[in-house]
A and B are shown apart, each in its own frame.
Chain A
Amino acid sequence: MTLKRLFAFLFLLLCQIISAQNDSITKLKEVVVSDANLKKYSNSQSVQVLNDSIINKNQSSLTSLLNYNTVIYFKENGLGMTSGPSFRGTTASQTAVIWNGININSQFLGQTDFNTIGTRDFNSIAVKAGGGSVLYGSSAIGGSIHLNNDLQFKKAFSNHLFFSAGSYDTYSANYRTMVSSDKYSLQISFSRNSSENDFKYPGNTDQKNINGEYYNTSMNTTFGYKIDSNNTIKLYSQYYDSERHFSLTTPTASKTKYDDFNTRNLLEWENKFDRFTSKLKLAHIGESYKYFSDINSKLFTYGKVETSIIKYDLAFDVNDKIKLNSIVDYNRNKGYGSSINNVKRKIGTASLLLSHLVSDKWDYNASIRQEITDNYGNPFLFSLGTRYQFTDFYRIKLNASKNFRMPTYNDLFWEGSGNPDLRPETSYQGEIGNEFFTKNFTLSVTTYYNSIKDLLRWVPSQGGGDNWSPENTKKVRAYGAEVLLEWKTKIDSHNFTLNGTYAYTVSESKQLISGELVYKQLIYVPYHKLTGSVSYNWKKVSSYFQYLYNGDVYSTPFNNPATKVKNYNIGNIGADYDFGKKNSYKLGFQIFNIWNENYQPVISRQMPGTNYTLYINLNF
């Protein structure tokens, strides 16, 4: 009886989504995706793909793109400043960022600063909700973000130029050229973003954003060469250079700045023989930062880590329906810096993955992974998932997985404070997804439960002194529901697209308050987040409206109501006109924060009021 009622409840209220955009990847046979396993082994989970038309409509930071289009909440410390995600109620280091299949979360912090990733360098960005450590390793607990460069093998030559100028001397430029044949494919892109970022605070005040200026420059190269029908060489490369001044919260505070320099290189040899596909990947990831505690001084503190990865992925198609992958991976990095004294870390992993299409309506996948390292134990991970299509408009998905996050360089090796005896954070989670779909409509409702233990936190040492060091501390239980919606319709030559996301999130840990242990919501996790967008296209005119609602968040572990960060509603609009005939030459404008909402996503971190951008977008 109880089970039945539970099932009915799940069926009615809690479903999950599939994104219609998911299928666009495979439409063109000649397009080779950088990370084939993402699609192959994520059928039982929710994957939302943001293609380049969505990327182009949004501002260039990964924070902005995901904030307005996904369920992920961002703790952004002021416009363009450091920014960390909370995906399904997890911490910022429990979301993995995957660049062409390679995990690029910082070795120092275990997380990615989402304002140091420019979106226009990528052909598509996919958002996978839920655990993914078997495929993507550390941090894929709340979910993972996939930055993908695709290669196309057909005769083509194209250029893309984007330039925008906006309020506060904000400029964004992106140039991309692609040249390809059926033998080779080359794509090169440059991006540059900069801003004085000196906006006046909205409301009745003379205060301005002081010391908020930033710039970043990046270069991306993607190259593929088909040696013969069985052998392909691929090369992916990215260089990213940025400087950000950190905006002040009081006008007389000391002015500081922060430089990032990141390099990513990946060489891949794909070889097909019979029913086997082997991929040998060599990667080198470099990350470095410099922090200047005084912008006028040449003195800085710094850190640098270089990671080398060798990965071998052998896929074996037993038949059309049963597919296997075995992956071995060896990862070695070394780091040094002002507070890290020449340390090394070596990690080996082995994974086995199975996907089985039992019938047209039913498939499942099962995968395991073993980590081997001397730094933090040897976690064993798994993922099990299945989906079943009941009718031609309804499908259910189930997934359960064990995931982890390894201690960071800072946690382990920070001089004097690092703790070599840390365990990884471990998460067990399960989810149920329901998908409803018709030709022009998809709705997914997913509910999940995630239990995370051994959370790594820096706490004051016992016994006096001012030493803080990391420890495996509390447990977190996170559960909630996500709704994704897409609807497209066409009336004569009027095209409408509606997208929406909603997340209800409870993420709690026990706090000792006046001698009593009580569950409290994690800081900077909203119970409610809602996004929506409406696009309207008519002949050569296209326009859109974007909406974001972030509910109240607590800023203290005991959930002090007096220091709650107030909810906020942001609306953006944009429109452009295509002057081109054969090619596309678009001229457009955008108005951000149309209601001049006066808001601070983090206490004392002010965001701008209404602001404007003009842009051109040329494809030739």
Chain B
Amino acid sequence: MMKRFHKLFLTIAISSAFFVSCSNDDNDKQEPRGNYDGGLFIVNEGNFLTPNGSISYLSDDLQIENNVFSLVNPGKVTGDTPLSIGFNGDMAYIIVNGSNKIEVVNRYTFKSIATITSQVKNPRYIAFANGKGYITNWGDGNVATDDYVAVLDLTSNTITSTISVVEGPEKIIEDSGKLYVAHKGGFSQGNSLTVINAANNTVTTNFVVGDVPGSLAKDNGTLYILCNGRPSYAAPETPGKIVKVNLSTNTVTSTLNFSGVTHPDFLDLDNSKIYYTVGNSIFSAPVNTTTLPTTETFKATGVASLYGFAVKNDKVYVADASNYQDPGDIYIYSTAGTVLNKFGVSILPNGFYFNN
């Protein structure tokens, strides 16, 4: 274990040296750390209550491979509704919601390292701080008071403690030893942000940001929160908003309100721009914008149901859930909306995880 750890550490040190000092062309000379070095993973939820979730991999040279977890680890299944992946060091942590487990794998080889099931109930997302993993959990979805953030010891791969939080902790992001948890609300509708101090694993503060905070992204000391707004089935229906929080003072600095009962779905940041989606429309604006754009940047043509979204290096990644039962597709667009690539993945692709 220790030996491998050293070797990995060495590999990371060497490869980061390469990145710093070499141009892209020299990358070819670098020994890949595994079959899945670079590129990106796509999480496919599969059908709820059915263990047909899976992970797809798209390499830098645009080769798609589906169901990588089961292929690399024969006899193991990804499980019922994998929801997200978190990277830390050489590890990738696959959060499998329906199966109440976390699959720990090497992020470059995808070889299984451990499966964590104890004190995991309805897990959602993971972030890392202070040498620990922090996993949001809903507990029993019907119970509003049993939600928590589980603290994962990254060396023993066991949950060492839990931090009780208000209902429906969803996305989680780390900044300067603090964890920011958006309370989307679980089976209900939440509206707040919890800040956890990783030094003592206690809640520093919890404050209202807006109805149904669904996406988190940070840039330059600011946290961008996309609130979906309360849906029509949970009256009173409210429109979405983008809320900016100052990460050093933990206060809301500005809010961009959507009109009518518009419900934006996803948000990402890239090259000092905000990108967000409403239905199949993609919008963008500079991060410091004080008003929301009135026209879409482009429409994700060909997409039946936009179910996952990311922007990286001026490329827009969209996951299409199709009819929610057949295998979905992923689309890569230029920021002008030209389809650059399209790949068939598995059932219900929901997110992109860039492996570098």
Residues of A within 8 A of B (CB): 249-250, 252-254, 293-294, 297, 299-301, 415-417, 460-467, 469, 511-512, 523, 555-558, 560, 562-563, 603-604
Assembled-state Cα–Cα distance A568/B98 (Å): 28
Assembled-state Cα–Cα distance A558/B326 (Å): 6
Contact of A604 among B51, B229, B322 (CB under 8 A): B51
* Contact partners of A300 in chain B: CB under 8 A: 142
Q: Determine how close the nearest CB of chain B comes to the CB of A201; give it in whole angstroms.
A: 13
* Contact partners of B235 in chain A: CB under 8 A: 416
Interface membership of B286, Cβ < 8 A: no
* Contact partners of B47 in chain A: CB under 8 A: 603
Contact of B142 among A301, A460, A562 (CB under 8 A): A301
**A249-B51, A250-B77, A250-B79 known; A416 vs B143 contact (CB < 8 Å):** no
Q: Determine how close the nearest CB of chain B comes to the CB of A199; give it in whole angstroms.
A: 18
Q: Determine how close the nearest CB of chain A comes to the CB of B112; give it in whole angstroms.
A: 15
* Contact partners of B262 in chain A: CB under 8 A: 463-464
* Contact partners of B117 in chain A: CB under 8 A: 252
**Interface magnitude class on chain B:** 35 or more
Is there an interface contact between B80 and A249, defined as CB atoms closer than 8 Å? yes
Assembled-state Cα–Cα distance A249/B233 (Å): 30
Is there an interface contact between A249 and B325, defined as CB atoms closer than 8 Å? no
Assembled-state Cα–Cα distance A603/B324 (Å): 15
Contact of A558 among B51, B101, B323 (CB under 8 A): B323
Q: Determine how close the nearest CB of chain B comes to the CB of A430; give it in whole angstroms.
A: 31
Assembled-state Cα–Cα distance A603/B304 (Å): 24
Is there an interface contact between A254 and B278, defined as CB atoms closer than 8 Å? no
Interface membership of B39, Cβ < 8 A: no
Assembled-state Cα–Cα distance A512/B303 (Å): 12
Q: List 27 A-B contacts (CB under 8 A).
A: A249-B80, A250-B51, A253-B49, A253-B98, A253-B100, A254-B98, A254-B100, A254-B121, A293-B141, A293-B142, A297-B142, A299-B142, A299-B143, A301-B142, A415-B233, A463-B263, A464-B228, A464-B262, A464-B265, A464-B277, A465-B265, A466-B231, A467-B232, A557-B326, A558-B323, A560-B327, A604-B50
Is there an interface contact between A464 and B279, defined as CB atoms closer than 8 Å? yes
**A249-B80, A415-B233 known; A463 vs B278 contact (CB < 8 Å):** yes
The chain B residue sitting closest to A515, CB to CB, is B302
* Contact partners of A511 in chain B: CB under 8 A: 323
Contact of B231 among A297, A299, A416, A555 (CB under 8 A): A416
* Contact partners of B222 in chain A: CB under 8 A: none
Contact of B232 among A301, A465, A558, A604 (CB under 8 A): A465
8 A Cβ contacts from B240-269 to A: 240, 262-265
* Contact partners of A603 in chain B: CB under 8 A: 47, 50, 52
Provide the B310-334 mask, 1 if CB < 8 A to any CB of A, else 0. Answer: 0000000000001111110000000
Q: Determine how close the nearest CB of chain B comes to the CB of A516; give it in whole angstroms.
A: 13
* Contact partners of A466 in chain B: CB under 8 A: 228, 231
The chain B residue sitting closest to A559, CB to CB, is B326
Contact of B140 among A252, A293, A562 (CB under 8 A): A293
Is there an interface contact between B233 and A467, defined as CB atoms closer than 8 Å? yes
Question: Considering the complex of A and B, which 10 residue pairs feature the smallest CB-CB distances, nearest first?
Answer: A416-B233, A464-B263, A465-B263, A250-B99, A558-B326, A556-B326, A465-B231, A294-B140, A556-B325, A250-B51
Provide the B214-233 mask, 1 if CB < 8 A to any CB of A, else 0. Answer: 00000000000000110111
* Contact partners of B192 in chain A: CB under 8 A: none
* Contact partners of A467 in chain B: CB under 8 A: 231-233
Assembled-state Cα–Cα distance A464/B296 (Å): 14
* Contact partners of B324 in chain A: CB under 8 A: 460
The chain A residue sitting closest to B51, CB to CB, is A250
Assembled-state Cα–Cα distance A603/B235 (Å): 36
* Contact partners of A512 in chain B: CB under 8 A: 304
Assembled-state Cα–Cα distance A358/B99 (Å): 65
Q: Determine how close the nearest CB of chain A comes to the CB of B259; give it in whole angstroms.
A: 12
Interface membership of B136, Cβ < 8 A: no
**A293-B142, A463-B278 known; A252 vs B231 contact (CB < 8 Å):** no
Q: Determine how close the nearest CB of chain B comes to the CB of A412; give it in whole angstroms.
A: 14
* Contact partners of A461 in chain B: CB under 8 A: 232
Assembled-state Cα–Cα distance A279/B201 (Å): 73
Assembled-state Cα–Cα distance A387/B79 (Å): 55
Is there an interface contact between A560 and B141, defined as CB atoms closer than 8 Å? no
Assembled-state Cα–Cα distance A557/B326 (Å): 7
* Contact partners of A463 in chain B: CB under 8 A: 262-263, 278-279
Contact of A416 among B52, B142, B228, B234 (CB under 8 A): B234
